[in-house]
Amino acid sequence: MKIIAANWKMNHSFDECDEWLDGFFEGYAKNINQFQDKNIVVCPPHILLDYIDSELMEDSMKHLDAVMKKQDRKLEDFSEEELNEIILGSRPIKLGGQDCHDKKSGSYTGSVSADMLAKVGCEYVILGHSERREGCFETSEVVSRKIAAALEAKLTPIICVGESKEIREKKEHLAFIEKQIEETLAQNSGFEKLVIAYEPIWAIGTGLVPTDEEIAQVANLVKKLFETKYNDIAKEHYLLYGGSVKESNSKSIMAINNIDGLLVGGASLKAGEFLNICLS
């Protein structure tokens, strides 16, 4: 299974979102076979989540109806967990939040809890993005607590790590990434899917992309950590690459050994371009 995630960041109105969904599903329907082994995750701004969830619900309910008929069961015969699995499992795209708070509820103005994301159909949440680490002063310790909250709400966190230009120039990136992973995973276990996104800060939104060899070097390190240090804490392990992914480079990045998917920012805003990336 590959994971291709779209991080819309603070972009798209309701109208633009509608246009995106129409465009994406048109292409999806034409290429449905090529999506069988892929989880497509869309992470819009929080205010669009409920809207997209309800747009997806019509087909989800049709699917639930079909399952009920096939199994000759009534709605009340299904547990909440079963219903969630049937409804969310059938969706062509998965929903994800771009962040969540580490607390369940309370006086945290402007924040959204992991439970709240789950209630509007999210299955994923991006955590520890460098734009939050830098812009909102989030430490790895905070990210670690958010991961715990996400796991409790049964969300799959997409955990972002990656070095600055200065750290890469000093050739300290591998040690830096290993430490970031260690700090963010601290005391967290019981992952269905452990998803790490390697996003070098200097590649995000800049058009600069590490060479395939440079990505492979980090991928080898993370895979080694998955196999040694973090084997027991997750059933499945995934490493995504993010940072200036486009139609023109997605295919070669996806072909790098140990890369299991992509986290796409700017190029995910246009349905057609994102679709082509998903098909690469």
User: Residue 125, interface with ligand PGA (CB under 6 A)?
Assistant: no
Which residues between 176 and 205 bind ligand PGA (CB under 6 A)? 199, 204-205
Which residues between 204 and 223 bind ligand PGA (CB under 6 A)? 204-205
In this complex, which beta carbon is closest to ligand PGA, that of residue 4 or of residue 155? 4
Give the integer Cα–Cα distance in Å for 127 and 142.
10
Give the integer Cα–Cα distance in Å for 178 and 222.
8
Catalytic residue of the set 101, 129, 173, 237: 129
Question: Please, what is the end-to-end C-alpha distance for the chain in angstroms?
Answer: 14
In this complex, which beta carbon is closest to ligand PGA, that of residue 87 or of residue 275? 275
Which residues between 4 and 23 bind ligand PGA (CB under 6 A)? 7
Q: Mark whether 199 is an active-site residue.
A: yes
Name which of 4, 1, 11 is nearest 266 in CA terms.
Answer: 11
Binding characters for ligand PGA, 228-257, by CB under 6 A (x = yes): --------------xxxx------------
Binding site for ligand PGA (CB under 6 A): 7, 199, 204-205, 242-245, 263-267
Catalytic sites, residue numbers: 129, 199
